[in-house]
Amino acid sequence: MFKEYISYTESNNRWLLHDQYTFLTSYLKRIETPIDHTLIKIKREDKFKILAEFEVCKSDKVCSFILKVYKYPSLFQQLKQLLKRTKAFREFYMTYLAASTGVPVEAPVAFGEQKCFFTKKSYIIIKKIKNSYTLNDYFKNNNCFAERRVVLEEFGKLARIIHDTGIKQDDFSLNNFLIFKRERDTKIILIDFERVSIQPKSLLEKQSILYLAKLNRIKGMFCNTDRLRFLMAYTKGDYQYCKKLAKQIELLTFVLQKKDSKKFARQCVRKNRKFGIFKNKKFYGRYRKTYLPETIRMLLATADQMDSDRAEINQYRVIRFTKIPAYQKRFRNVIDLWKHANALFALRINVPVPVGIFKRISSEQIKDEFFIFQLPVNWVSADQYLSSNEKKDILKQTINVFIKEISPFGVVSQNLNAQNIILQKDEHCRLKCFLREYSSFFVNRQSFQQNKYYNTKIFGQAITINEK
């Protein structure tokens, strides 16, 4: 059924192995239960999945591989596998089909299942490409405009090929594309077929727009010229179609961002891939997993020694609440403020990054609550900016761009002042506008034009008053 793959069976384990990698046969036992930790380096593990890497020497050459193990710990999940294929098989099969249609992918090395009447585990092995990066990491770290321009155009062409081939990638993001050099050429391939399905015909336009809108949610990494360059490559140089597509993508992007916002507000109070639970002898709370536990412990050590309601540690701010302040009375408690902060962050509105909320559980002191967030680097408030010799017209242009970004979602507080507006110059020396307080913005259902009119008025008042 699968060309270039051979079948290999041992006891309760069945494998399909690419004929170029038959030298892995002797290693397959070691990645089955129990996993040989001298061979496998586990990168991430949860109740249902293991992501790991391992290396094998062949003819004095080291080959690196990525291993995914899907686990079925409950009887219910094992019974489900009697009625449908395992996740590893579906990922293997979708990758194989995509490769057979000519889409640039890395063909899987092997697929395996461990069965004893019920499926207990399933495996997929993929070759790790050396000196490769996800497109997300590439664009985040590469400031060479000429290279970025070429890669954006190639990425646009690849996205069109994927959609014309009928590939539906539910997680259509930069993290699912890999870029690397091969024979002096830059290659971009599609990876991670865990949430991929393939239909016999090309995607409908509304399906393509949905996936492009998912991609368009990225903020801060691309300017409008970059987005236009990508879309021009996607539409094969049809400018009129490109303009039409851009408007449809933008409208749907706003809808997706609002859904993301509601989703994050629910997720941030639960333990999951993005948010964790932190607990020690003195504190209990929730935090964003992008921050290491060591960082959280350092911040909470500062919180434990606080004499006032606010503390500063580099770009971090720690706020202590014994009760919600009057200026934040819209929130019933600190959890409501935490949910609101994460909702705004999910909307890609420029606000401080919410780090976590924590409650003191030590019986020795008052059970205060603490909110920790991170401000952007090298920021100044708008009143400081205006009092300096900086050009004020640049500030007004920056604020107008910010108003356009936030108006699809809601309005700023009528009490907004220049101290609550902060500014930062990015790595390209472009000025960016942020709101310093989460309570300075609230989501509504008004139209873009209504919100824009109101926001322009409030920002104008805040800046004008300070100028006087």
| φ, ψ for residue 67, nearest 5 deg | -120, 130
Question: What separation, in Å, do the N-terminal and C-terminal C-alpha atoms of the chain show?
Answer: 78
Tens place of pLDDT per residue across the chain (468 aa) = 788 899 988 777 889 999 999 999 888 877 765 666 778 888 888 888 889 999 998 888 889 999 999 888 777 777 776 667 888 999 999 999 999 989 999 999 999 988 776 677 889 999 999 889 999 999 988 878 889 999 999 999 999 999 999 999 888 999 999 999 887 788 999 998 988 999 999 999 999 999 999 999 887 788 889 999 999 999 999 999 999 999 999 999 999 999 999 999 999 999 988 999 999 988 999 999 999 999 999 999 999 888 888 999 989 999 988 765 554 556 778 899 999 999 999 999 999 999 999 998 865 555 688 999 999 988 999 988 888 766 778 888 999 999 999 999 999 999 999 999 999 987 667 789 999 999 999 999 999 999 999 999 999 999 886 555
Are 302 and 332 found together in one domain? yes
Q: Domain range holding 211?
A: 133-254
Asked if residue 27 is part of any domain, the answer here is yes
Considering all CA atoms of the chain, what is the largest pairwise distance in Å, rounded to the nearest integer? 82
Are 282 and 335 found together in one domain? yes
Are 123 and 16 found together in one domain? yes
- Full DSSP string of 169-222: ETT-SGGGEEEEEETTEEEEEE---TTEEE-SSPPPHHHHHHHHHHHHT--SS-
Asked if residue 17 is part of any domain, the answer here is yes
What's the rounded Cα separation, in Å, for the pair 277 and 288? Answer: 9
Q: How many domains does the chain have?
A: 4
Q: Which helix (H) or strand (E) holds 51?
A: strand 49-58
Are 432 and 388 found together in one domain? yes
Q: Any idea what the CATH number is for the domain that residue 52 is in?
A: 3.30.200
DSSP state of 332: S
Asked if residue 269 is part of any domain, the answer here is no
Q: Any idea what the CATH number is for the domain that residue 247 is in?
A: 1.10.510.10
- Angle, alpha carbons 463-398-314 (nearest 5°): 85
Asked if residue 261 is part of any domain, the answer here is no
> Is-contact 382 468, C-beta < 8 A?
no
Picking from 324, 322, 341, the residue whose alpha carbon sits closest to that of residue 439 is 341
What's the rounded Cα separation, in Å, for the pair 359 and 100? Answer: 55
Q: Which residues contact 16 (CB under 8 A, 6 or more apart)?
A: 2, 5, 6, 7, 8, 92, 110, 111, 112
Model pTM score: 0.84
Asked if residue 53 is part of any domain, the answer here is yes
